[in-house]
Each structure stands twice: as structure tokens, then as C-alpha cells.
A and B are shown apart, each in its own frame.
Chain A
């Protein structure tokens, strides 16, 4: 008993000294968040389409026919006439015709517009029926001019472009680049390919990334969060222990029971969680704020915190 009286203070003192010399390892907390769209895409007003026919009547389209068949140029012209004749009378339609201007080997495309509406397309059909191939022309240039018109007469999404051509580029330029330019603006394009071999680029022509009309689909940036000690004694919230930003480096804090509060709208409270000393706790949350019924979920994982966590989180 006497020995105990001597040893006990020594043990207690040693424990106290040890505690002062090396504080218990802090807990580490990492928060990440996967989010859905920030808002909803608005319904756009449905408007009538504007139609542009690109008709290639250049020399390469006028190859001699076989067995009494018309040349591609003749077939394309007849097809264009049929399309124009069948359109509803008030359709906003115009043409870009290649190969009918005279005076130059590579003549610029000629634009034909409907003289009046309604019935403009039917009147245009008669003009087209009388067109004769006279020169070469650049399809690429024609498509660039169409793109310019589409660009100036928004919204591009209501443009429909129909190209009747062999897609050859005897007068220079890249028809695929011209088509891509139209797609980038949001126009819809039909190509009636009258050539021998389709350009390889046609098979792979897809635009990556979100369209401008769907800007609201972008998830909002990762939110800030704070960590509060788990409330006790009927209080709503405990004292704040740490702050951070979802997706960034872990934060160090005292071990214990805590609540993670993500500063979303409305706030997203996760916990209480047990933050253990020397442990990295990872909280991953899902948030779809724009859905009619806000949809949330979260998951938790723990692993021992490495030395690097103890030095600089």
C-alpha cells in the first residue's frame, strides 16, 4: 500500500507528461460530392423550320449518262423540283446553286430565294427546272455561305439544309469542314451523296460536348462544408470544428462525434459520424438539386491516415 502511494503519482505524472509531449493523432475528414444539373432546360418555342437546298450542278455532276439514265446533275435537279413542289406553301425556303454562273472556271454559288410566300416554293421549283450547268463551283464555299446565313438568322436549331451533290472539291475547300460548321451551329443537314465514294469524314461527324441550349445541365461547383460537433443536451448544433471545400484536400480535426454540413441549397446534413483518431474518414455525397423531388444520398468509408495526413492535410 505504501509502495502504491509512491508509484501512483509517478504513473499519473508520466501519463500526463506523455499526453503533453505527443497529442493524440487528429482525425481526418475528406468530403466529395457528385452533383446533377443546376437547373432545368427550358422548353423552347417550336418554330417553323427554314429550309435551304444546296444544289450542285457542276461539271463533275454532269457525267455522261449510261443506258439513257439522266446524269447526277439532272437527277438532282429533278429531285429538287419535286421537293420544292411538295412543300407547304408558306415554307421559308431558298437555294444555293453551284455551277450555273458563267464567266469563271470556279464560279461562286448563286442564291435563289422565293419571290413571295405562300407558294414561293412552287415558284422556285419552276426556276430550278430551267437551270443548266455552266461552270464548276466550290461546295465548300456554298456551305460557308449557308453557314453565314444560318449564323445571322438565329435560332440555328430551326434550319434544315439539304445538300444534293457528289461532294467533290474540284474548286478547293473541304466540304466536310463546311458541314461541320453547320452542325456546330445546330442546323440539321441531309446530304444526298451522288458521288462514287463518300468522304470518310461523313461517317464520324459527331460533335462532342453539351449544346448551348443545355447550359442548365452543368452541375454546380462543389460546395463548401463545415464540421460541427454532434449536438448534445437538446441543442440544435454543436460548435464548429472545421471548414473545407468538397473535392479538395482532407481537413484535420479533433476526433469525436460530428456532423458534416454541406452548404448546398437547402443544406445537406450528414451524420452524426464517429471521426476516429488517426483515421481518414471519406464522405461521398450525391445531390441532384434540380430534380422535382430533391434526390440525395451519401456513403462513408474509413482507412488509417498515413503519415502525410498528419503533417499536411
Chain B
């Protein structure tokens, strides 16, 4: 055998023997765990039992971490999947909590330096926007809210007649003042959002409400803005309840209550789930 051939063969062998970097790194045992890391399918029955119980406690830990520390939960989910690669729910949890997401707007493929289409940038951002909408923080009246409050007439949000969105029953709410021109567009958007909620198109409703929120920034000094603000938050909370976003819904209802602490929902005409969430938001108010 020629030396060069032997060298090439040795190199090939070294490459073949080298562990796969990705799997070796991600499925390495954590401190205190047996090495090599067993799986639930290990031939050694005791090691397989250990893997099974270990998955059980990793899953419990990941579930506790996920809401507050999704990136940490992601690493725990991944490790659980190393121990039990067959569990489909672990793969779903890994995808759900992935800490780095790369979105590639569709450019004009095949062209060098072709810019991505504006619409495709918007499309790539859609899932990000949807998830960012739920980052609402703790509501706290701030100067802008105070300004809204000061400009608010004694009216509360108008009472829609059907169970969803919520009906405001108390305190007695006079009819909202007829829309002045600056508020007419805002009312139109709120009406549109309400129609979308009645049609169970909750994500679209939240988008319409996001636009209405921008309009409200410009109109916050207008007479009647506070009532619209309260209505906006009630509609937002209702859509969020429907989407199962309990925490975000409570935050929206709390904002509505910050604008009008006397707000009440009519339990006779409002979805019990919406009422319950609204009341929880009220109970949490300082």
C-alpha cells in the first residue's frame, strides 16, 4: 500500500470514528448522570428504568419553567428527548420553546442580492407580532392614563347586547356621546373588532384592536376617549379569553379597570369565562 493511500485511509477512518458533534454534544450526560446516557430503550433494564423516571422528573421541571423561562425549559425538554427519543410530545415542546427562531422572508430566489419582498417581510413577522402582542405587562396608571382619566366623561363603555363581547352592567352607563369626527374612525375600528369577535375571528379582532390602539394614542385628549379605551381593553380581553390567553386577558381587563374602576360585566349576558377572568383581574387590583 502506498503511503499516501494509507494516510487517506487513516484520515477516512478517523472521520468515520469521530462522534457526530451535534448529537454527542446535545445528548451528553448532565452532571451526576450515568455515562453514556441511557435511554428508555436501553438493553440494560435498570438503566432503562432510570431513563424513564428521569424523563418523568425532567418533564415536570420543564413544565414548571416554561411560562417564566422558556429558554431554560427548552434545554430541559431537549435533554428529556435524549432519554426518550420516541416521545412525540417532547418534540413538540422543543419546537414550542426554541430560543432562537430564524425567519426567512421569501426573496426573489435565484437572483443575487435580490431584496425580500415587503409583503414577505410582513409575513415573516406575523408570528413574531402575534407572540409579542402577548407580552403585556402589569397595568399601572401612568401619566398618559391619568390624562385619559381626566378627560373621561362619566360614561363607561357601551353595553353590547350579546354574550360576547362582554356587557357592562354597572355602574349605570349613559349612552356614549355621539362620535365626534376624530372619534368616529376609532369607533368604526372598535365596531369592526366586535364584529370579528362575534364571528369567532379572534386573531383578526386583536389585529384590528391593535390598530385602534394606535388611533387612540392620537385621540387620548379627546372627550370620550376614556370610554373608548375601556371598550378597547374589554374587547381585547374577550378575544384573549377566547384564545386561551388567560394572563393576557387579565392584563387587558386590568387596564380597562384602571381607566374605569367602576366597570362591571353583566353575568346574564356575558360569557361566564369572560366574567370569571374579569373578576379575577378586579380581585388583583391594589
Contact = CB atoms under 8 A, between A and B. Distances in A.
A88 B125 contact: no
Interface string B212-245: 0110010010000000000000000000000000
Nearest to B76: A214
Given A86-B133, A190-B128, A214-B72, A41 B102 contact: no
Interface string A197-226: 010001011111111111011111100000
Nearest to A212: B72
B124 A192 contact: yes
Interface in A106-164: 116-119, 122-123, 125, 155, 157-158, 160, 162
Contacts, number: 252
A212 B75 CA distance: 10
A78 interface: yes
B186 to A, nearest CB: 14
Contacts of B204: none
A260 to B, nearest CB: 15
Contacts of A188: 70-71, 99-100
Contacts of A34: 34, 46-47, 50
Interface in A25-48: 34-37, 40-48
A87 to B, nearest CB: 6
B72 A186 contact: yes
Interface in A291-309: 291, 295, 297, 299
Contact of B61 (A46, A191, A217, A284): A217
Interface stretch (B3-11, B142-150, B176-184): B142-150
Of A66, A204, A214, A218, most buried by chain B (CB within 10 Å of CB) is A214
A198 B214 CA distance: 34
Interface residues of A, number: 88
Give the interface residue-count category, chain B. Answer: 35 or more
A42 B88 CA distance: 26
Interface in A207-262: 207-214, 216-221
Interface string B95-136: 000011111110110011111111001101100110011011
A291 B102 contact: no
A206 B220 CA distance: 45
Nearest to A92: B137
A62 to B, nearest CB: 9
B162 interface: no
Given A211-B72, A286-B49, A36 B57 contact: yes
Interface stretch (A11-19, A68-76, A268-276): A68-76
> Which secondary structure dominates chain B's binding surface?
helix
Nearest to A211: B72
A88 B71 contact: no
Given A179-B100, A213-B65, A218-B30, A70 B118 contact: yes
Given A187-B71, A196-B107, A66 B211 contact: no
B53 interface: yes
A160 B115 contact: no
Contact of B136 (A63, A66, A88, A157): A88
Nearest to B61: A41
Interface in B133-168: 133, 135-140, 142-145
A37 B56 CA distance: 11
A193 interface: yes
Interface of B: 22, 25-26, 28, 30-34, 45-47, 49-50, 53-54, 56-58, 60-61, 64-65, 67-72, 75-76, 78-79, 99-105, 107-108, 111-118, 121-122, 124-125, 128-129, 132-133, 135-140, 142-145, 207, 210-211, 213-214, 217, 220, 247, 251-252, 255
8 closest cross-chain pairs (CB), A and B: A48-B137, A44-B68, A211-B72, A219-B32, A157-B69, A86-B210, A88-B136, A41-B61
Interface of A: 34-37, 40-49, 51, 63, 65-66, 69-72, 74-76, 78-79, 82-83, 85-92, 116-119, 122-123, 125, 155, 157-158, 160, 162, 179, 183, 186-194, 196, 198, 202, 204-214, 216-221, 284, 286, 288, 290-291, 295, 297, 299
Given A75-B115, A89-B255, 18 more contacts: A37-B57, A40-B64, A72-B116, A75-B117, A75-B121, A79-B122, A82-B129, A89-B213, A160-B135, A186-B99, A190-B100, A191-B102, A192-B121, A196-B112, A196-B113, A196-B114, A198-B104, A208-B26
29 contacts: A44-B64, A49-B135, A51-B135, A66-B108, A69-B118, A70-B118, A75-B105, A82-B129, A83-B128, A83-B132, A88-B133, A116-B142, A116-B143, A116-B144, A123-B217, A157-B72, A189-B99, A189-B100, A192-B125, A205-B100, A206-B22, A208-B28, A210-B75, A211-B72, A211-B75, A212-B72, A218-B32, A219-B32, A299-B46
